[in-house]
Structure 1
Amino acid sequence: MPDPTDPPPLEHSHTPEAIAARLAEVRKPDDLGDFVLGAVDGAITTFAIVAGVAGSGLSAGVAVVLGLANVLADGFSMAVGNYLKTKSDHDILDRYRRLELRHIHREPEGEREEVRQIFAAKGFQGEILEEVVDVITADKQQWVDTMLREEFGLPTAPPEPRRAAAITFFAFVLAGLAPIVPLAFSRVLGPDATFFLSIVVTMLVFAAIGAVRGRVTQMSQLRGALETMFTGGSAAGLAYAVGRLLSGFVGT
Protein backbone atom coordinates (compact mmCIF):
# COMPACT_ATOMS: atom_id res chain seq x y z
CA MET A 1 0.00 0.00 0.00
CA PRO A 2 1.49 3.37 -1.01
CA ASP A 3 2.60 5.71 1.75
CA PRO A 4 0.36 8.85 1.68
CA THR A 5 3.39 10.95 2.65
CA ASP A 6 5.26 9.92 -0.51
CA PRO A 7 5.44 12.64 -3.20
CA PRO A 8 3.21 12.08 -6.23
CA PRO A 9 4.80 10.29 -9.20
CA LEU A 10 6.37 12.44 -11.90
CA GLU A 11 4.59 12.90 -15.24
CA HIS A 12 7.28 11.07 -17.25
CA SER A 13 10.43 9.00 -16.85
CA HIS A 14 13.91 10.53 -16.81
CA THR A 15 15.96 7.60 -18.03
CA PRO A 16 18.32 8.48 -20.92
CA GLU A 17 16.22 6.37 -23.32
CA ALA A 18 12.93 8.00 -22.25
CA ILE A 19 14.40 11.49 -22.51
CA ALA A 20 15.78 10.81 -26.00
CA ALA A 21 12.42 9.43 -27.18
CA ARG A 22 10.49 12.37 -25.70
CA LEU A 23 12.78 15.00 -27.22
CA ALA A 24 12.61 13.27 -30.60
CA GLU A 25 8.82 13.61 -30.71
CA VAL A 26 7.45 16.22 -33.08
CA ARG A 27 6.12 19.14 -31.05
CA LYS A 28 2.57 19.87 -32.19
CA PRO A 29 0.88 23.18 -31.35
CA ASP A 30 -1.60 22.91 -28.49
CA ASP A 31 -5.25 23.05 -29.63
CA LEU A 32 -6.60 23.70 -26.12
CA GLY A 33 -6.49 27.48 -26.44
CA ASP A 34 -8.50 27.50 -29.67
CA PHE A 35 -11.05 25.04 -28.23
CA VAL A 36 -11.53 26.92 -24.96
CA LEU A 37 -11.71 30.26 -26.78
CA GLY A 38 -14.42 29.05 -29.15
CA ALA A 39 -16.40 27.05 -26.59
CA VAL A 40 -16.48 29.70 -23.88
CA ASP A 41 -17.33 32.48 -26.30
CA GLY A 42 -20.01 30.35 -27.98
CA ALA A 43 -21.71 29.48 -24.70
CA ILE A 44 -21.44 33.01 -23.31
CA THR A 45 -22.69 34.89 -26.37
CA THR A 46 -25.54 32.48 -27.10
CA PHE A 47 -26.70 32.41 -23.51
CA ALA A 48 -26.36 36.18 -23.41
CA ILE A 49 -28.96 36.29 -26.19
CA VAL A 50 -31.22 33.88 -24.31
CA ALA A 51 -30.77 35.88 -21.10
CA GLY A 52 -31.31 39.19 -22.87
CA VAL A 53 -34.51 37.96 -24.53
CA ALA A 54 -35.76 36.52 -21.23
CA GLY A 55 -34.90 39.75 -19.46
CA SER A 56 -36.81 41.79 -22.00
CA GLY A 57 -39.83 39.47 -21.88
CA LEU A 58 -39.67 38.38 -25.55
CA SER A 59 -40.79 34.91 -26.66
CA ALA A 60 -38.68 31.75 -26.74
CA GLY A 61 -39.06 31.67 -30.52
CA VAL A 62 -37.20 34.96 -30.79
CA ALA A 63 -34.37 33.56 -28.65
CA VAL A 64 -34.14 30.44 -30.83
CA VAL A 65 -33.90 32.46 -34.05
CA LEU A 66 -31.38 34.90 -32.62
CA GLY A 67 -29.41 32.11 -30.95
CA LEU A 68 -29.12 30.00 -34.10
CA ALA A 69 -28.15 33.04 -36.14
CA ASN A 70 -25.54 33.89 -33.53
CA VAL A 71 -24.10 30.37 -33.47
CA LEU A 72 -23.54 30.29 -37.22
CA ALA A 73 -22.62 33.92 -37.90
CA ASP A 74 -20.53 34.61 -34.81
CA GLY A 75 -18.95 31.16 -34.91
CA PHE A 76 -17.84 31.73 -38.49
CA SER A 77 -16.71 35.26 -37.66
CA MET A 78 -14.62 34.03 -34.73
CA ALA A 79 -13.13 31.24 -36.85
CA VAL A 80 -12.18 33.74 -39.56
CA GLY A 81 -10.68 36.05 -36.95
CA ASN A 82 -8.62 33.22 -35.46
CA TYR A 83 -7.53 32.15 -38.95
CA LEU A 84 -6.32 35.66 -39.76
CA LYS A 85 -4.57 35.93 -36.39
CA THR A 86 -2.68 32.64 -36.77
CA LYS A 87 -1.97 33.43 -40.44
CA SER A 88 -0.46 36.73 -39.29
CA ASP A 89 1.69 34.82 -36.79
CA HIS A 90 3.03 32.72 -39.67
CA ASP A 91 3.59 35.80 -41.82
CA ILE A 92 5.50 37.54 -39.02
CA LEU A 93 7.60 34.42 -38.44
CA ASP A 94 8.40 34.17 -42.16
CA ARG A 95 9.32 37.84 -42.28
CA TYR A 96 11.79 37.58 -39.39
CA ARG A 97 13.17 34.31 -40.73
CA ARG A 98 14.00 35.98 -44.04
CA LEU A 99 15.48 38.92 -42.14
CA GLU A 100 17.76 36.65 -40.09
CA LEU A 101 18.85 34.67 -43.15
CA ARG A 102 19.79 37.93 -44.90
CA HIS A 103 21.73 39.16 -41.89
CA ILE A 104 23.56 35.83 -41.51
CA HIS A 105 24.50 35.96 -45.19
CA ARG A 106 25.75 39.56 -45.12
CA GLU A 107 27.03 39.93 -41.52
CA PRO A 108 27.86 36.42 -40.24
CA GLU A 109 30.35 37.62 -37.62
CA GLY A 110 27.87 40.15 -36.28
CA GLU A 111 25.22 37.45 -36.01
CA ARG A 112 27.72 35.13 -34.27
CA GLU A 113 28.35 37.91 -31.78
CA GLU A 114 24.61 38.15 -31.10
CA VAL A 115 24.54 34.42 -30.33
CA ARG A 116 27.61 34.85 -28.12
CA GLN A 117 26.03 37.65 -26.10
CA ILE A 118 22.71 35.83 -25.77
CA PHE A 119 24.36 32.77 -24.22
CA ALA A 120 26.83 34.82 -22.21
CA ALA A 121 23.78 36.38 -20.54
CA LYS A 122 22.68 32.83 -19.64
CA GLY A 123 25.94 32.26 -17.75
CA PHE A 124 28.14 30.58 -20.38
CA GLN A 125 31.70 31.88 -20.64
CA GLY A 126 35.15 31.07 -21.91
CA GLU A 127 35.74 27.99 -24.06
CA ILE A 128 32.31 26.56 -23.28
CA LEU A 129 30.66 29.71 -24.60
CA GLU A 130 32.69 29.55 -27.82
CA GLU A 131 31.77 25.87 -28.25
CA VAL A 132 28.07 26.73 -27.86
CA VAL A 133 28.39 29.49 -30.47
CA ASP A 134 30.22 27.14 -32.86
CA VAL A 135 27.64 24.38 -32.50
CA ILE A 136 24.63 26.67 -33.00
CA THR A 137 26.07 28.58 -35.95
CA ALA A 138 27.23 25.38 -37.69
CA ASP A 139 23.61 24.61 -38.60
CA LYS A 140 21.88 27.51 -40.35
CA GLN A 141 18.38 26.25 -39.49
CA GLN A 142 19.25 25.96 -35.81
CA TRP A 143 21.02 29.32 -35.97
CA VAL A 144 17.95 31.08 -37.37
CA ASP A 145 15.54 29.30 -35.00
CA THR A 146 17.71 30.28 -32.03
CA MET A 147 17.64 33.93 -33.06
CA LEU A 148 13.87 33.86 -33.64
CA ARG A 149 13.29 32.52 -30.13
CA GLU A 150 15.98 34.37 -28.21
CA GLU A 151 16.16 37.74 -30.00
CA PHE A 152 12.55 38.23 -31.06
CA GLY A 153 10.66 35.92 -28.68
CA LEU A 154 8.79 34.22 -31.53
CA PRO A 155 7.44 30.65 -31.44
CA THR A 156 9.01 28.64 -34.26
CA ALA A 157 5.95 26.40 -34.70
CA PRO A 158 2.73 28.47 -34.45
CA PRO A 159 -0.65 26.72 -34.94
CA GLU A 160 -1.76 25.91 -38.48
CA PRO A 161 -4.34 28.60 -39.44
CA ARG A 162 -6.99 26.35 -40.99
CA ARG A 163 -6.83 23.88 -38.12
CA ALA A 164 -7.08 26.68 -35.54
CA ALA A 165 -10.09 28.14 -37.37
CA ALA A 166 -11.84 24.76 -37.67
CA ILE A 167 -11.36 23.95 -33.97
CA THR A 168 -12.62 27.39 -32.96
CA PHE A 169 -15.73 27.10 -35.15
CA PHE A 170 -16.52 23.53 -33.99
CA ALA A 171 -16.13 24.45 -30.32
CA PHE A 172 -18.21 27.63 -30.75
CA VAL A 173 -21.10 25.77 -32.42
CA LEU A 174 -20.98 22.82 -30.03
CA ALA A 175 -21.06 24.94 -26.89
CA GLY A 176 -23.21 27.67 -28.41
CA LEU A 177 -26.10 25.32 -29.18
CA ALA A 178 -26.38 24.17 -25.55
CA PRO A 179 -28.13 27.27 -24.12
CA ILE A 180 -30.88 27.22 -26.77
CA VAL A 181 -31.65 23.48 -26.64
CA PRO A 182 -34.02 23.88 -23.61
CA LEU A 183 -36.05 26.41 -25.61
CA ALA A 184 -37.40 23.54 -27.70
CA PHE A 185 -39.38 22.47 -24.63
CA SER A 186 -40.67 25.94 -23.72
CA ARG A 187 -44.32 25.11 -24.50
CA VAL A 188 -44.21 22.20 -22.07
CA LEU A 189 -42.09 23.75 -19.34
CA GLY A 190 -43.23 27.35 -19.52
CA PRO A 191 -40.94 30.40 -19.84
CA ASP A 192 -39.59 30.47 -16.29
CA ALA A 193 -38.69 26.77 -16.11
CA THR A 194 -37.23 26.91 -19.63
CA PHE A 195 -35.00 29.82 -18.75
CA PHE A 196 -33.90 28.12 -15.54
CA LEU A 197 -33.06 24.93 -17.48
CA SER A 198 -31.05 27.00 -19.96
CA ILE A 199 -29.10 28.45 -17.04
CA VAL A 200 -28.38 24.96 -15.69
CA VAL A 201 -27.31 23.59 -19.07
CA THR A 202 -25.07 26.58 -19.74
CA MET A 203 -23.42 26.33 -16.33
CA LEU A 204 -22.79 22.63 -16.95
CA VAL A 205 -21.16 23.49 -20.27
CA PHE A 206 -18.97 26.07 -18.54
CA ALA A 207 -18.05 23.50 -15.89
CA ALA A 208 -17.18 20.89 -18.54
CA ILE A 209 -15.01 23.37 -20.45
CA GLY A 210 -13.25 24.38 -17.25
CA ALA A 211 -12.71 20.75 -16.22
CA VAL A 212 -11.15 19.95 -19.60
CA ARG A 213 -8.95 23.03 -19.28
CA GLY A 214 -7.93 21.99 -15.79
CA ARG A 215 -7.13 18.43 -16.84
CA VAL A 216 -5.01 19.47 -19.83
CA THR A 217 -3.15 22.19 -17.91
CA GLN A 218 -2.78 19.83 -14.90
CA MET A 219 -4.40 22.23 -12.48
CA SER A 220 -7.41 21.40 -10.31
CA GLN A 221 -10.38 20.43 -12.49
CA LEU A 222 -12.70 21.83 -9.82
CA ARG A 223 -10.84 25.15 -9.90
CA GLY A 224 -10.99 25.25 -13.69
CA ALA A 225 -14.72 24.50 -13.65
CA LEU A 226 -15.46 27.15 -11.01
CA GLU A 227 -13.36 29.80 -12.77
CA THR A 228 -15.12 29.21 -16.08
CA MET A 229 -18.55 29.12 -14.47
CA PHE A 230 -17.84 32.39 -12.66
CA THR A 231 -16.61 34.28 -15.74
CA GLY A 232 -19.31 32.87 -17.99
CA GLY A 233 -22.04 33.41 -15.41
CA SER A 234 -20.94 37.02 -14.93
CA ALA A 235 -21.31 37.73 -18.63
CA ALA A 236 -24.69 36.02 -18.74
CA GLY A 237 -25.89 37.92 -15.67
CA LEU A 238 -24.86 41.21 -17.26
CA ALA A 239 -26.80 40.35 -20.41
CA TYR A 240 -29.90 39.50 -18.39
CA ALA A 241 -29.63 42.74 -16.41
CA VAL A 242 -29.34 44.75 -19.63
CA GLY A 243 -32.37 42.94 -21.05
CA ARG A 244 -34.42 43.78 -17.98
CA LEU A 245 -33.23 47.39 -18.06
CA LEU A 246 -34.22 47.84 -21.69
CA SER A 247 -37.46 45.85 -21.47
CA GLY A 248 -39.45 49.05 -21.36
CA PHE A 249 -38.22 50.02 -24.80
CA VAL A 250 -39.19 46.70 -26.45
CA GLY A 251 -42.71 45.63 -27.24
CA THR A 252 -43.59 42.22 -25.84
Structure 2
Amino acid sequence: MRLEHDHSREAIAARLADGPRVSYLRDWIYGGIDGAVTTFAIVAGSVGANLSARVILILGVANLLADGFSMAAANYSGTKAEHDDYRRLKAMEERHIDAEPDGEEEEIRQIFQAKGYRGPELEQLTSLITSRRKVWVETMLAEEHGVSGTLHDPARAALATFSAFVLCGAVPLVPFVAGLDASAPAAAIATGAVFFAIGSAKSIWSTQSWLRSGLETVMIGMGAAGLAWLAGYLLERIIT
Protein backbone atom coordinates (compact mmCIF):
# COMPACT_ATOMS: atom_id res chain seq x y z
CA MET A 1 0.00 0.00 0.00
CA ARG A 2 1.36 3.40 -1.03
CA LEU A 3 1.28 6.07 1.69
CA GLU A 4 1.17 9.83 1.19
CA HIS A 5 4.43 10.57 3.04
CA ASP A 6 7.48 9.00 4.63
CA HIS A 7 7.24 7.84 8.26
CA SER A 8 10.92 7.61 9.08
CA ARG A 9 12.05 9.40 12.23
CA GLU A 10 13.91 12.07 10.26
CA ALA A 11 11.06 12.67 7.81
CA ILE A 12 8.55 13.03 10.64
CA ALA A 13 10.79 15.52 12.46
CA ALA A 14 11.25 17.61 9.31
CA ARG A 15 7.53 17.57 8.50
CA LEU A 16 6.48 18.59 11.99
CA ALA A 17 9.15 21.31 12.12
CA ASP A 18 7.59 22.93 9.05
CA GLY A 19 4.24 23.05 10.80
CA PRO A 20 0.85 22.58 9.14
CA ARG A 21 0.69 23.92 5.61
CA VAL A 22 -2.07 26.27 4.56
CA SER A 23 -3.37 25.50 1.08
CA TYR A 24 -5.17 28.05 -1.07
CA LEU A 25 -6.06 25.54 -3.75
CA ARG A 26 -9.64 25.28 -2.47
CA ASP A 27 -10.08 29.07 -2.79
CA TRP A 28 -8.71 28.84 -6.34
CA ILE A 29 -10.97 25.97 -7.35
CA TYR A 30 -14.17 27.52 -6.02
CA GLY A 31 -13.27 30.87 -7.58
CA GLY A 32 -12.63 29.12 -10.89
CA ILE A 33 -15.92 27.25 -10.81
CA ASP A 34 -17.91 30.39 -10.05
CA GLY A 35 -16.04 32.40 -12.69
CA ALA A 36 -16.67 29.83 -15.41
CA VAL A 37 -20.32 29.27 -14.40
CA THR A 38 -21.37 32.92 -14.16
CA THR A 39 -19.55 34.12 -17.28
CA PHE A 40 -20.76 31.23 -19.41
CA ALA A 41 -24.28 31.79 -18.08
CA ILE A 42 -24.07 35.40 -19.28
CA VAL A 43 -22.80 34.21 -22.67
CA ALA A 44 -25.59 31.62 -22.94
CA GLY A 45 -28.28 34.09 -21.90
CA SER A 46 -26.99 36.66 -24.37
CA VAL A 47 -26.88 34.09 -27.19
CA GLY A 48 -30.43 33.04 -26.31
CA ALA A 49 -31.49 36.68 -26.58
CA ASN A 50 -29.69 37.04 -29.95
CA LEU A 51 -27.37 39.74 -28.68
CA SER A 52 -24.31 40.69 -30.71
CA ALA A 53 -20.81 39.45 -30.00
CA ARG A 54 -19.87 43.01 -28.98
CA VAL A 55 -22.58 43.10 -26.32
CA ILE A 56 -21.65 39.62 -25.11
CA LEU A 57 -18.05 40.73 -24.64
CA ILE A 58 -19.08 43.87 -22.78
CA LEU A 59 -21.34 41.95 -20.41
CA GLY A 60 -18.79 39.18 -19.98
CA VAL A 61 -15.87 41.46 -19.13
CA ALA A 62 -18.05 43.52 -16.80
CA ASN A 63 -18.99 40.30 -15.00
CA LEU A 64 -15.35 39.17 -14.79
CA LEU A 65 -14.27 42.34 -13.05
CA ALA A 66 -17.31 43.10 -10.89
CA ASP A 67 -18.27 39.59 -9.79
CA GLY A 68 -14.63 38.53 -9.46
CA PHE A 69 -13.91 41.47 -7.19
CA SER A 70 -17.09 40.79 -5.23
CA MET A 71 -16.13 37.16 -4.64
CA ALA A 72 -12.59 38.10 -3.66
CA ALA A 73 -13.83 40.77 -1.26
CA ALA A 74 -16.32 38.35 0.29
CA ASN A 75 -13.60 35.73 0.73
CA TYR A 76 -11.29 38.34 2.27
CA SER A 77 -13.98 39.48 4.71
CA GLY A 78 -14.99 35.93 5.61
CA THR A 79 -11.40 34.82 6.19
CA LYS A 80 -10.66 37.93 8.24
CA ALA A 81 -13.76 37.20 10.32
CA GLU A 82 -12.33 33.75 11.08
CA HIS A 83 -9.15 35.41 12.38
CA ASP A 84 -11.18 37.81 14.52
CA ASP A 85 -13.30 34.99 15.92
CA TYR A 86 -10.21 32.91 16.70
CA ARG A 87 -8.62 35.80 18.61
CA ARG A 88 -11.88 36.43 20.49
CA LEU A 89 -12.25 32.82 21.55
CA LYS A 90 -8.57 32.54 22.50
CA ALA A 91 -8.79 35.67 24.68
CA MET A 92 -11.93 34.28 26.31
CA GLU A 93 -10.27 30.96 27.15
CA GLU A 94 -7.23 32.81 28.53
CA ARG A 95 -9.53 34.80 30.83
CA HIS A 96 -11.40 31.70 31.94
CA ILE A 97 -8.20 29.86 32.79
CA ASP A 98 -7.05 32.83 34.88
CA ALA A 99 -10.40 33.29 36.62
CA GLU A 100 -11.65 29.69 36.93
CA PRO A 101 -8.72 27.29 36.51
CA ASP A 102 -10.51 24.47 38.36
CA GLY A 103 -13.55 24.78 36.11
CA GLU A 104 -11.44 24.85 32.97
CA GLU A 105 -9.50 21.82 34.19
CA GLU A 106 -12.79 20.02 34.72
CA GLU A 107 -13.77 20.84 31.16
CA ILE A 108 -10.58 19.17 29.94
CA ARG A 109 -11.34 16.17 32.13
CA GLN A 110 -14.86 15.81 30.76
CA ILE A 111 -13.75 16.31 27.17
CA PHE A 112 -11.41 13.34 27.36
CA GLN A 113 -13.77 11.34 29.51
CA ALA A 114 -16.23 11.58 26.63
CA LYS A 115 -13.50 10.16 24.40
CA GLY A 116 -13.28 7.03 26.58
CA TYR A 117 -10.49 7.83 29.06
CA ARG A 118 -11.09 6.75 32.65
CA GLY A 119 -9.40 6.57 36.07
CA PRO A 120 -5.69 7.31 36.51
CA GLU A 121 -5.19 7.52 32.76
CA LEU A 122 -7.76 10.34 32.53
CA GLU A 123 -6.26 12.21 35.49
CA GLN A 124 -2.75 11.93 34.08
CA LEU A 125 -3.86 13.18 30.68
CA THR A 126 -5.75 16.08 32.26
CA SER A 127 -2.72 16.99 34.37
CA LEU A 128 -0.40 16.87 31.36
CA ILE A 129 -2.58 19.12 29.23
CA THR A 130 -3.25 21.70 31.94
CA SER A 131 0.45 21.85 32.89
CA ARG A 132 1.17 23.65 29.59
CA ARG A 133 -0.92 26.79 29.21
CA LYS A 134 -0.53 26.99 25.42
CA VAL A 135 -1.57 23.36 24.98
CA TRP A 136 -4.42 23.91 27.42
CA VAL A 137 -5.78 26.88 25.45
CA GLU A 138 -5.33 25.19 22.07
CA THR A 139 -7.10 22.07 23.33
CA MET A 140 -10.05 24.10 24.54
CA LEU A 141 -10.24 25.98 21.25
CA ALA A 142 -10.22 22.78 19.22
CA GLU A 143 -12.43 20.61 21.42
CA GLU A 144 -14.93 23.14 22.80
CA HIS A 145 -15.17 25.61 19.92
CA GLY A 146 -13.98 23.57 16.94
CA VAL A 147 -11.44 26.15 15.76
CA SER A 148 -7.80 25.79 14.77
CA GLY A 149 -4.87 28.19 14.82
CA THR A 150 -4.05 27.18 11.23
CA LEU A 151 -5.80 29.97 9.34
CA HIS A 152 -5.72 31.25 5.78
CA ASP A 153 -4.24 34.66 5.07
CA PRO A 154 -7.16 36.89 3.97
CA ALA A 155 -5.20 38.67 1.23
CA ARG A 156 -3.85 35.45 -0.28
CA ALA A 157 -7.27 33.79 -0.13
CA ALA A 158 -8.82 36.78 -1.91
CA LEU A 159 -6.08 36.84 -4.55
CA ALA A 160 -6.48 33.12 -5.22
CA THR A 161 -10.23 33.54 -5.66
CA PHE A 162 -9.97 36.59 -7.93
CA SER A 163 -7.23 35.18 -10.15
CA ALA A 164 -9.10 31.89 -10.61
CA PHE A 165 -12.36 33.69 -11.30
CA VAL A 166 -10.83 35.89 -13.99
CA LEU A 167 -8.72 33.15 -15.59
CA CYS A 168 -11.45 30.51 -15.78
CA GLY A 169 -14.21 33.03 -16.40
CA ALA A 170 -12.38 34.43 -19.42
CA VAL A 171 -12.52 31.10 -21.25
CA PRO A 172 -16.13 31.46 -22.51
CA LEU A 173 -15.24 34.86 -23.97
CA VAL A 174 -12.16 33.78 -25.92
CA PRO A 175 -14.05 32.54 -29.02
CA PHE A 176 -15.89 35.87 -29.24
CA VAL A 177 -12.64 37.82 -28.91
CA ALA A 178 -11.16 35.66 -31.69
CA GLY A 179 -14.19 36.36 -33.87
CA LEU A 180 -14.92 32.69 -34.58
CA ASP A 181 -17.95 31.96 -36.76
CA ALA A 182 -19.18 29.33 -34.34
CA SER A 183 -18.32 31.29 -31.20
CA ALA A 184 -21.17 29.96 -29.06
CA PRO A 185 -20.45 26.22 -29.66
CA ALA A 186 -16.72 26.84 -29.24
CA ALA A 187 -17.39 28.66 -25.96
CA ALA A 188 -19.53 25.75 -24.76
CA ILE A 189 -16.84 23.18 -25.57
CA ALA A 190 -14.03 25.22 -24.01
CA THR A 191 -16.04 26.00 -20.88
CA GLY A 192 -17.08 22.36 -20.54
CA ALA A 193 -13.41 21.41 -20.56
CA VAL A 194 -12.75 23.96 -17.80
CA PHE A 195 -15.66 22.60 -15.74
CA PHE A 196 -14.32 19.08 -16.11
CA ALA A 197 -10.75 20.07 -15.18
CA ILE A 198 -11.86 21.98 -12.10
CA GLY A 199 -14.26 19.26 -11.02
CA SER A 200 -11.56 16.63 -11.38
CA ALA A 201 -9.22 18.68 -9.21
CA LYS A 202 -12.03 19.17 -6.67
CA SER A 203 -12.06 15.41 -6.09
CA ILE A 204 -8.95 15.89 -3.93
CA TRP A 205 -11.25 16.87 -1.05
CA SER A 206 -13.87 14.19 -1.55
CA THR A 207 -14.23 10.43 -1.84
CA GLN A 208 -15.58 10.80 -5.38
CA SER A 209 -13.47 9.66 -8.30
CA TRP A 210 -11.98 12.39 -10.46
CA LEU A 211 -14.16 11.29 -13.37
CA ARG A 212 -17.42 11.49 -11.43
CA SER A 213 -16.48 14.79 -9.83
CA GLY A 214 -15.52 16.24 -13.19
CA LEU A 215 -18.73 15.13 -14.88
CA GLU A 216 -20.81 16.40 -11.97
CA THR A 217 -19.25 19.86 -12.26
CA VAL A 218 -19.87 19.86 -16.01
CA MET A 219 -23.55 19.08 -15.46
CA ILE A 220 -23.90 21.82 -12.83
CA GLY A 221 -22.20 24.40 -15.03
CA MET A 222 -24.09 23.45 -18.17
CA GLY A 223 -27.34 23.35 -16.22
CA ALA A 224 -26.82 26.94 -15.07
CA ALA A 225 -25.95 27.97 -18.63
CA GLY A 226 -29.04 26.19 -19.94
CA LEU A 227 -31.30 28.10 -17.57
CA ALA A 228 -29.62 31.37 -18.57
CA TRP A 229 -30.05 30.57 -22.27
CA LEU A 230 -33.74 29.75 -21.74
CA ALA A 231 -34.29 32.98 -19.80
CA GLY A 232 -32.63 35.02 -22.54
CA TYR A 233 -34.54 33.20 -25.28
CA LEU A 234 -37.94 33.71 -23.63
CA LEU A 235 -37.38 37.29 -22.52
CA GLU A 236 -36.15 38.32 -25.97
CA ARG A 237 -39.43 37.08 -27.45
CA ILE A 238 -41.64 38.44 -24.69
CA ILE A 239 -40.11 41.92 -24.66
CA THR A 240 -40.05 42.25 -28.44
Please indicate, yes or no, whether the TM-score normalized by the shorter chain is above 0.5: yes
The aligned amino acid for 2:219 is F
Report which stretch shifted further, 98-107 or 177-186. Answer: 177-186
Query: Does the alignment pair 1:195 with 2:184?
Result: yes
Partner of 1:66: 59
SS of the residue corresponding to residue 246 of structure 1 reads helix
SS of the residue corresponding to residue 170 of structure 2 reads helix
Structure 2 alignment gaps of length 5 or more: none
Given that 1:56 and 1:250 are in contact with CA atoms closer than 8 Å, whether structure 2 keeps it comes out as no
Report which stretch shifted further, 174-183 or 26-35. Answer: 26-35
SS of the residue corresponding to residue 201 of structure 1 reads helix
Partner of 2:165: 172
Counterpart mapping for 1:132-171 below 5 A: 132-171=125-164
Partner of 1:3: none
* Structure 1 residue 217, shift from structure 2 partner: 5.6
* Structure 1 residue 250, shift from structure 2 partner: 4.9
Counterpart mapping for 1:214-233 below 5 A: 214-215=203-204, 219-233=208-222
* Structure 1 residue 36, shift from structure 2 partner: 1.4
Partner of 2:76: 83
Partner of 2:119: 126
Task: Give the count of matched residue pairs.
Answer: 240
Query: Does the alignment pair 1:50 with 2:43?
Result: yes
Q: 1:49 to 1:250 in 2, by over 3 A?
A: farther
* Structure 1 residue 215, shift from structure 2 partner: 4.8
1:152-194, Cα deviation, whole Å (9 max, x unpaired): 11122221111110100010000010000101233x51xxx21
Counterpart-to-counterpart distance in 2, 1:216 and 1:25: 22
The aligned amino acid for 1:231 is I
- Which aligned segments of 4 or more residues in structure 1 are displaced greater than 4 angstroms? 215-219
Structure 1 alignment gaps of length 5 or more: 1-7
Report which stretch shifted further, 145-154 or 125-134. Answer: 125-134
The aligned amino acid for 1:117 is Q
Q: 1:51 to 1:34 in 2, by over 3 A?
A: same
Query: Residue 245 of structure 1 is aligned with which of 225, 234, 238?
Result: 234
Counterpart-to-counterpart distance in 1, 2:21 and 2:13: 17
